[in-house]
Every structure is written in structure tokens, then in C-alpha cells.
Chain A
Amino acid sequence: MAEYVFKMKKGEIEIELSSDDAEFVEQQLAKWREEILKKQG
């Protein structure tokens, strides 16, 4: 079964999300991307 890993790093903090649920990881990734772009914009 495939495992999907999503990792974010900022300074000394590192956040890693992993799951075999592709849809879940995709949703979370999209949410993070949206928030980060919103923050930068």
C-alpha cells in the first residue's frame, strides 16, 4: 500500500504528515497551500 508524506519545515520546527489515505493528504496539502498563499498575498 502506498504511503503519502507531506513535510513542512520552518526554522527549527518540522511538521510531517503521512498517511496511506491519498485523498486526505491531498486535502490537507491543498489547505496548507491555500493558507500560505493567502498569508503571502
Chain B
Amino acid sequence: MSHRELLGALRRAYLRFYLQPDVLVHHLRKFTTPAIARNYLRSARIIFLP
């Protein structure tokens, strides 16, 4: 499996778990600031952010 495939799997896992990006961002915002939530996701290469 390539890195690209694994990152794709990560992205799908987050999407499937949280159902949609907004829910994930909302979940993270409960814990932190929107800016940190965005960067947190970017650092994890979650690239579907709105």
C-alpha cells in the first residue's frame, strides 16, 4: 500500500466516523479554538476541510 492510499484511508475513516467534515470540525471546536481545530486537522493531513 502506498502512502497516498493510507492517507486516503485515514480521510475516509474520519469521514465515516464523523459522517461529515462539519461534524468533525464541530467536535474539535468543542475542545479548542476554530483555528487550532483547522490546523490540527491539517497537521493530520485531513484535507477535506471546508
Is the pairing of A and B real? no
B residues bordering A, Cβ < 8 Å? none
